[in-house]
DNA sequence: CTAATTCCCTGGAAGC
DNA sequence: TGCTTCCAGGGAATTA
C-alpha cells in the first residue's frame, strides 16, 4: 500500500510531467471514493503551479486552489496517453493535451478533494503532526507526546496528530530496528530509546524513498505491495519465520486493530 | 483531553 | 473448477 515513501516517489515522478501544464479536460468515472469527488470543471484551462506533499496527501496547486489527492491503500497515479482505454478502477483523471494523469484505486479508500484556501489549513491537514523527516520530529518532541499517553508505542507512531506518514510497515520495522516491543506502553519507553526510535523512523523512511528513486522503474509501479522494500523487511509479514538477527521465531498479534509483528528475542 | 471501536471497499488467499 | 469466508489497511467518525 502506498506509504509515505511511495507517495513521495509518486510526487517526484509526476511533478516534472505536469508542472506548468494546462488542464485541457477532466474525467470522473466513479465519484464515490472515500468521499465524493467534488465538481472540478473549473479546473479546465488552469495551469499546474506546483506539486507538493503533506503527510500522505499529494497537493497539486493551481492559481485558484489546490487539488488534494490521497491514494488510500490501493491507489496509484499513472501518466499515459489520454486515449488509452481506462481500467475498471480508473476513477478520475486530469488531461493535459495528449496525456492524462489517471487515478486508479480498486478499493476506493483514496480521496480527491478541493481546497480553495491554503491547503495546509484544510480540515484534514490542519491538525496533523510533523513530517517524520523534518527537524520538527525529534526525541524531545516524541517524549512529550509519549509521556502523557498510555497507548502502545506502535499506536503512538501511527497516530497522525503525533507524526504523519508512518504506516503499519514502517512502524513495525522501525520498532524492530530500535529493539522496542510494539505493545509497550508509550509512557514506559525511556527517553534514550525514544531517541533511537526517532532515528530509526527517519532512517527507514529515507532508505525507502531513496530506493523508490533508484530501484523502482518509475512511480507508475503500483500493485499495492511494498514491492521494492519487501526484500529487506525484518519482521513485517514474517510471522512464524526466523529472525534474521537472532534466530527467534517472529511473533504477531493485533495491536489497535492492526497486525503487529515483532521478534521476541530482539524487542522488549 | 485520551482511548477504544466502527466503518468505508474489494482483491487475493485460504478453505471447502 | 467454483463457491464462500476472511483478511488487509489509512484514518475519519463515533462512542466511551
According to the model, what pLDDT value does residue A36 have?
86
Q: Nearest residue (Cα to C1') for C7? A: A259
Cα(A145)–Cα(A115) distance, rounded to whole angstroms?
29
Distance, angstroms, CA A223 to C1' C2? 25
Sheet containing strand A65-70, strands side by side: A50-54, A57-62, A65-70, A111-115
According to the model, what pLDDT value does residue A185 have?
92
Q: Nearest residue (Cα to C1') for B7? A: A34
Q: What is the mean pLDDT of residues A160-167?
A: 90
Burial of A116 per CB tally in 10 Å (0-12, 13-18, 19+): exposed
- Concatenating the DSSP letter of every residue in A97-128 gives TTEEEEEE-TT---EEEEESS-GGGSTTTTT-
Residue the block writes with cell 520498532: A175
Chain mean position to CA A209: 11
Q: Determine the nucleotide nearest to A148 by Cα–C1' distance.
A: B2
Cell of A40: 472540478
Catalytic one of A21, A244, A245, A258: A258
Confirm whether A258 is a catalytic residue.
yes
Confidence of residue A33 (pLDDT cuts 50, 70, 90): confident
Distance, angstroms, CA A60 to C1' B5? 34
The C-alpha R_g of chain A, in whole angstroms, comes to 20
Catalytic one of A11, A53, A56, A238: A56
Strand B reaches within 7 A of the A151 CB:
yes
Evaluate if pTM is beyond 0.85: yes
Question: Per-residue pLDDT tens for A173-217?
Answer: 999 999 999 999 999 999 999 999 999 999 988 888 887 744 443
Confirm whether A241 is a catalytic residue.
no
Note the strand C nucleotides within 7 A of protein beta carbons: 7-12
Distance, angstroms, CA A1 to C1' B1? 32
Q: Nearest residue (Cα to C1') for B3? A: A151
According to the model, what pLDDT value does residue A193 have?
95
Amino acid at each position: 500500500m502506498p506509504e509515505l515513501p511511495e507517495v513521495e516517489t509518486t510526487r517526484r515522478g509526476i511533478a516534472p510531467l505536469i508542472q506548468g501544464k494546462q488542464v485541457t479536460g477532466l474525467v470522473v468515472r466513479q465519484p464515490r471514493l472515500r468521499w465524493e469527488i467534488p465538481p472540478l470543471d473549473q479546473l479546465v484551462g488552469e495551469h499546474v503551479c506546483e506539486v507538493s506533499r503533506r503527510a500522505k496527501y499529494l497537493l497539486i496547486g493551481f492559481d485558484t486552489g489546490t487539488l488534494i489527492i490521497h491514494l488510500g491503500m490501493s491507489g496509484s497515479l499513472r501518466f499515459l496517453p489520454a486515449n488509452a482505454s481506462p481500467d475498471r478502477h480508473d476513477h478520475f483523471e486530469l488531461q493535459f493535451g495528449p496525456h492524462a494523469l489517471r487515478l486508479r484505486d480498486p478499493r476506493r479508500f483514496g480521496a480527491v478533494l478541493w481546497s480553495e484556501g491554503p491547503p495546509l489549513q484544510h480540515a484534514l491537514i490542519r491538525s496533523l503532526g510533523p513530517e517524520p523527516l523534518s527537524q520538527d520530529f525529534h526525541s524531545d518532541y516524541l517524549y512529550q507526546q509519549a509521556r502523557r499517553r498510555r497507548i502502545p508505542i506502535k499506536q503512538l507512531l501511527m497516530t497522525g496528530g503525533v507524526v504523519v506518514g508512518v504506516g503499519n510497515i514502517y512502524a513495525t520495522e522501525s520498532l524492530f530496528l530500535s529493539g522496542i516491543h510494539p505493545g509497550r506502553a508509550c509512557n514506559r519507553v525511556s527517553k534514550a530509546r525514544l531517541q533511537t526510535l526517532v532515528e530509526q523512523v527517519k532512517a527507514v523512511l529515507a532508505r525507502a524513498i531513496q530506493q523508490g528513486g533508484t530501484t523502482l522503474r518509475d512511480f507508475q509501479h503500483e500493485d499495492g505491495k511494498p514491492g521494492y522494500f519487501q526484500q529487506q523487511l525484518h519482521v513485517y509479514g514474517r510471522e512464524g519465520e526466523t529472525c534474521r538477527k537472532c534466530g527467534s521465531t517472529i511473533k504477531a498479534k493485533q495491536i489497535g486493530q492492526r497486525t503487529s509483528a515483532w521478534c521476541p528475542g530482539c524487542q522488549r
